[in-house]
Amino acid sequence: MGKERPGYIVVEGPIGVGKTSLAKRLAESFETDLLLEGADENPFLEGFYQDPRSGALPAQLFFLFQRVRQIEAMRQADMFQPVRVADFLMEKDRLFAELTLGTEELKLYEQVYAHVTVDAPVPDLVVYLQAPEDVLLKRISRRGIRYERKIDAEYLRKLSEAYSRLFLNYDDAPLLIVNTASINLVDNDDEYQALLEQIHLTRTGKHYFNPMSAAI
């Protein structure tokens, strides 16, 4: 592209906001490797949605171990030299744990976390996607994953609030906040190219992306 670009990009946001789809498209644009959260590989996830009280801890621990393995594998392969794109921050693991676990379960989780967590690399840019709960619900319904049918607006509200708190004072990396409520970054090339341009420009601080087409 002939432009300076971040070396390590993370796309984050609540369930249904489109982070994995955007991460895939960014990886294609930059012709680079892609690190995706393997929700489909978690055998406890369906049980969590059916019964959050009893299913939260095994689901959360599986994700923790999975993310640690992924980051360790990337480090061993020295994969952080060119551009890399991921659809999760390591910080999200604690975010979900605090949201879903009871007091005693959270204590146990924190003990495990302290022993296994690797020193995850700091991104060069975090793209934080937002959307209202009703939009998230529609997108979740449209993608038709069976066990996600149990997700309701209240859970998404709490999750969105948790993400807002996480990024309110986030300063570990440049942050690009994207309101995706009225845009389609996967199928609308103009909106995607506008975002790509903003990604090239974002080097420090916190920035907001709202393309003009979304306001018309």
- Specify the pLDDT at position 216: 40
Residue 144 confidence class, pLDDT cut points 50, 70, 90: confident
Give me the mean pLDDT over the 76-97 stretch. 80
Give me the mean pLDDT over the 104-121 stretch. 90
pLDDT at 2 over 50: no
Residues 6+ apart with CB under 8 A from 14: 130, 131, 136, 156, 159, 160, 163
Q: What is the number of other CB atoms lying within 10 angstroms of the CB of residue 66?
A: 17
Residue 121 confidence class, pLDDT cut points 50, 70, 90: confident
- The verdict on pTM exceeding 0.85 is yes
Domains, the chain, with CATH or none? 8-215 (3.40.50.300)
pLDDT at 81 over 60: no
Residues 6+ apart with CB under 8 A from 97: 60, 64, 106, 109, 110, 113
pLDDT at 215 over 50: no
- Cross-strand bridge partners of residue 117: none
What is d(CA 154, CA 102) in angstroms, rounded to the nearest whole number?
A: 18
- Specify the pLDDT at position 83: 59
* Identity at 26, one-letter amino acid code: L
